[in-house]
Amino acid sequence: QSVLTQPPSVSGAPGQRVTISCTGSSSNIGAGYDVHWYQQLPGTAPKLLIYTNVNRPSGVPDRFSGSKSGTSASLAITGLQAEDEGDYYCQSYDNSLNAFYVFGSGTRVTVL
Amino acid sequence: EVQLVESGGALVQPGGSLRLTCVASTSAFGNHEMNWVRQAPGKGLEWISYISSGGTPTFYGDSVKGRFTISRDNARNSLYLEMHVLRAEDTALYYCVRGGAAGPDVLDLWGQGTMVIVSS
């Protein structure tokens, strides 16, 4: 059971906008720790997509954007493209006993 | 382009041991925190261990604490994971992951992974 909760799946037609939520608690996101997002395309290793809530690494299209508020964060994909199909994970730090880095349960994005 | 290359994954019997290695393609390896993250077949990501740039401190997830040991050799640009008393639930793709280069707690560079299968 993941510490951060994400919807199992989201879908959209090409060109549409989809959002993925990431809900945490007072020991992670709510405590002020940053949220990072990773994209895992089929058969590949995860790749950093958004860091420190809103920042895109070099090479990541501006179709991807992140936000954070309270105990939650969100990833938005605008202008959805077929190559965006894959799994997306949020990640943060957790200050509870025996915790450290925590991941979301992952969200499968399907392009219809 | 900096790369992380894992090796050492194998089929091992329950109760057995294994040592994973990750080699970085840059001597700047010694400047960065490192982690191991695993992914069981068809499942999500699970962080399992962290090591600072200098080798201490280290941290472990509850599922591996007391059985796995993370270490590094900065002179060899290498990261290790010693795994003991392996269980079926340790079956996973193990990723070597760089941390902290893009900011605190950011896992910014991932290897391609090495597969560990625990089965009799």
Instruction: Report helix, strand or coil for A86.
Output: strand
Identify how many contiguous H helices and E strands chain B contains and give both numbers.
0, 11
* Mean pLDDT of all residues in B6-20: 98
A58-62 own/partner pairs: CB under 8 Å, 24+ apart:
none
Check pLDDT > 90 for residue A37: yes
Average pLDDT of the residues of chain A: 96
pLDDT reported for residue B1: 84
Whether the Cβ atoms of residue B25 and residue B5 lie closer than 8 Å to each other: yes
Average pLDDT of the residues of chain B: 96
Q: Which pLDDT tens digit goes with each residue over B49-65?
A: 999 999 999 999 999 99
Q: Does B89 touch chain A (CB under 8 A)?
A: no
Chain B nearest C-alpha distance from A64 (Å): 17
Any idea what DSSP says for residue A78?
Answer: -
Chain B nearest C-alpha distance from A36 (Å): 7
Check pLDDT > 90 for residue B100: no
Closest residue, chain B, to A48 (C-alpha) = B108
Whether the Cβ atoms of residue B8 and residue B113 lie closer than 8 Å to each other: no
- Residue B107 identity: L
Q: For testing the chain A interface, which of B35, B45, B47 should be mutated: the one with the most A CBs within 10 Å?
A: B45
* Mean pLDDT of all residues in A86-106: 94
Whether the Cβ atoms of residue A12 and residue A20 lie closer than 8 Å to each other: no
Beta bridge partners of A50: A37
* Mean pLDDT of all residues in A21-45: 97
Any idea what DSSP says for residue A11?
Answer: E
pLDDT reported for residue A1: 78
Q: Phi-psi region for residue A15, left (φ > 0), alpha (ψ -120 to 50) or beta?
A: left
Count other Cβ atoms within 10 Å, centred on residue B59.
17
